């Protein structure tokens, strides 16, 4: 086991653990934000730079600091390593810069975006963003694209984290979407709007950290914080059938996979469960989904002995 200290908190982790994973074992404010890393998707991370940290001591054997800030989702820990996250002004300044950079092209359309309330960029902008932009040029904009009957691509909001590309690569058999072009011209494309006809394609919606990929069956129906998220399951021959159904009264407005504390899905669900099972009778409702208090979705959502109290 290797010892690593992050913001003064020590933890022991096995070899090969990244700084971000070690920080998640400690928990709380020590954990750097992550917009592109996704623990259940191989090869994710290393794109967005929101997880930058300062390594103030590289290891017990070589106690020199690393010369530049490093992406904590990629850098593995060494024995005796010491890392500064929120305790470093340099890191917080860099994070502010990264957020400003991510917002160069991202529109501030949270009031009409379906991802509002569960958008990682919205949270980051709230914590680190500037009230004004210094960008003077035209922002890049795109027409909205329907990716098949269920998914809407709003490329203008995309931050090119590649998570949806990993989902398409790793969960579906025939990948027909990816990133084309590079630099300021890079965009998610389905090659002439070809539909992703695959039973697990809906998972791109859950992994998208912003509102670039949204559920066409739920768009503009309700703000998420007006709904009651409930853990539910059904017998499904394609996936685990374990999901969260978002209810208003007895009506199911949308179905998503279950996410952990860091907003990551471990049991991906199929399109049948997600898009076609919208009757309360399709599901066995287990009880209210646990919602962290920092989330706007937790407002008026009280979990009381397995029942939602409003
Ligand atoms: S569409 Fe969403 S998940 Fe895909 S690269 Fe863009 S921001 Fe990431
Ligand atoms: S989460 Fe590490 S670079 Fe994006």
Whether 220 maps to a domain, the answer reads: no
CATH number (domain holding residue 94): 3.10.20.740
The answer to whether residues 207 and 37 touch, using CB atoms and an 8 Å cutoff, is no
The per-residue pLDDT for 285 is 94
pTM of the predicted protein model: 0.86
- Mutation test residue for ligand 2: of 43, 45, 94, 159, the one with most atoms within 8 Å of CB: 45
Ligand 2 in reach of 48 Cβ (< 6 A): yes
CB 271 within 8 A of CB 206: no
pLDDT of 178 reads 79
Report if residue 9 sits inside a domain: yes
Looking at the fold, whether 202 and 248 belong to one and the same domain comes out as no
Q: How buried is residue 179: exposed, middle or buried, by Cβ count under 10 Å (0-12/13-18/19+)?
A: middle
Task: Provide the pairing of β-strand 2-6 with 9-13.
Answer: antiparallel
| Residue 60 shares a structural domain with residue 121 | no
Q: What domain range is 67 assigned to?
A: 2-101
Ligand 2 center to residue 44 CA distance, Å? 8
Q: Whose CA is nearest to atom 4 of ligand 1?
A: 164
Tracing tokens 């009264």 back to the chain, one arrives at 249
Cα separation, 286 vs 305, whole angstroms: 12
Residue 120 and residue 198 in one domain: yes
- Looking at residue 48, its pLDDT comes to 95
Instruction: Read off the CATH number of the domain in which 134 is found.
Output: 3.30.70.20
Q: What is the pLDDT of residue 93?
A: 95
Domain boundary among 55, 84, 101: 101
Asked whether residue 6 falls in the same domain as residue 73, the answer is: yes
Q: Which one, of 229, 257, 254, lies nearest residue 243 by Cα?
A: 257
Question: What are 35's two structure tokens?
Answer: 């917009």
| Residues lower than pLDDT 50 in the chain | 192, 310
Distance from residue 289's CA to the centre of ligand 2 (Å)? 27
**Rounded to the nearest 10 degrees, how much is the dihedral formed by the CA atoms of 134, 68, 210, 303?**
-120
- Pair (14, 58) in one structural domain: yes
Query: 156 with 245, same domain?
Result: no
Ligand 1 atom at minimum distance from 160 CA: 5
65 and 84 in contact (C-beta within 8 Å)?
no
What pLDDT, in 10s, does the model give residues 234-254? Answer: 999 999 999 999 999 999 999
Query: Which protein residue has the closest C-alpha to ligand 2 atom 1?
Result: 34
Looking at all shown ligands, the one closest to residue 214's CA atom is 1
Q: Please indicate, yes or no, if residue 117 is contained in any of the structural domains.
A: yes
Say yes or no: CB of residue 212 within 6 Å of ligand 2: no
Evaluate whether residue 306 is within a structural domain: no
Q: How far apart are CA 73 and CA 212, in angstroms?
A: 23
The answer to whether the Cα torsion of 72, 74, 77, 81 is positive or negative is negative
- The response to whether residue 71 sits with its C-beta less than 6 Å from ligand 2 reads yes
Does residue 261 form part of some domain?
Answer: yes
- In terms of domains, do 141 and 210 share one? yes
Pocket test for ligand 1, best of 38, 40, 210 (most atoms within 8 A of CB): 210
283 and 248 in a single domain? The answer is yes
Does residue 194 fall inside a structural domain?
yes
Report the alpha-carbon distance of residue 112 to residue 109 in Å, rounded.
6
> 99 in ligand 2 pocket by Cβ < 6 Å?
no
**CB of 34 shorter than 6 A to ligand 2:** yes
- Tell me how far the alpha carbon of residue 69 lies from the centroid of ligand 1, in angstroms: 25
Q: Please tell me the number of Cα atoms within 13 Å of 147 on its side-chain side.
A: 27
- Domain final residue, candidates 166, 195, 215: 215
- C-alpha 263 – ligand 2 centre gap (Å): 14
Residue 184's pLDDT is what? Answer: 80
d(Cα 80, Cα 55) in Å, to the nearest integer? 11
Question: Which residues, in sequence order, are CB contacts of 20 under 8 Å at separation 6+?
Answer: 31, 32, 34, 37, 45, 51, 72, 73
Q: Is the residue at 310 inside a domain?
A: no
Cα→Cα distances 171→46, 162, 175, Å:
21, 14, 9
Among 190, 215, 240, give the residue marking a domain's end.
Answer: 215
Do 124 and 181 lie in a common domain? yes
Atom index in ligand 1 nearest the CA of residue 159 equals 7
Q: Is 35 in the pocket of ligand 2 (CB under 6 A)?
A: yes
**Number of independent structural domains in the chain:** 3
Instruction: Let me know if residue 295 belongs to a domain.
Output: no
Residues 114 and 29 in one domain: no
Q: Do 168 and 175 form a contact (C-beta atoms < 8 A)? A: yes
Which residues are CB-contacts of 23 (< 8 A; sequence separation ≥ 6)?
6, 30, 31, 32, 72, 83, 85
């Amino acid at each position: 086991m290797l010892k690593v200290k992050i913001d003064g908190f020590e933890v022991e982790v096995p070899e090969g653990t990244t700084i971000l994973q070690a920080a998640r074992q400690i928990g709380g404010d020590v954990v750097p934000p992550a917009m592109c890393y996704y623990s259940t998707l191989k090869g994710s991370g290393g794109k967005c730079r929101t997880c930058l940290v300062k390594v103030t001591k590289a290891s017990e054997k070589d106690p020199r600091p690393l010369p530049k800030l490093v992406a904590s989702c990629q850098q593995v820990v060494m024995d005796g390593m010491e890392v500064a996250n929120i305790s470093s002004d340099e890191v917080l300044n860099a994070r502010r810069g990264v957020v400003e950079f991510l917002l160069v092209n991202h529109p501030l359309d949270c009031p009409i975006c379906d991802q509002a309330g569960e958008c990682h960029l919205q949270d980051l902008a709230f914590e680190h963003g500037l009230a004004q932009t210094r960008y003077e040029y035209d922002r890049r904009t795109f027409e909205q694209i329907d990716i098949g009957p269920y998914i809407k691509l709003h490329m203008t909001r995309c931050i090119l984290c590649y998570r949806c590309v990993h989902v398409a690569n790793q969960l579906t058999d025939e990948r027909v979407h990816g990133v084309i072009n590079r630099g300021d011209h890079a965009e998610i494309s389905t090659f002439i709007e070809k539909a992703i006809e695959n039973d697990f394609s809906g998972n791109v919606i859950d992994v998208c950290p912003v509102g670039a990929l949204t559920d066409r069956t739920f768009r503009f129906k309700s703000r998420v914080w007006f709904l009651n998220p409930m853990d539910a399951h059904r017998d499904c021959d394609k996936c685990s059938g374990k999901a969260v159904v978002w209810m208003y009264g007895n009506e199911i407005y949308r179905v998503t996979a279950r996410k952990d504390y860091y907003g990551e899905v471990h049991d991906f669900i199929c399109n049948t469960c997600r898009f076609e099972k919208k009757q309360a009778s399709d599901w066995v409702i287990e009880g209210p989904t646990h919602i962290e208090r920092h989330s706007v979705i937790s407002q008026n959502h009280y979990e009381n002995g397995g029942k939602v109290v409003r």
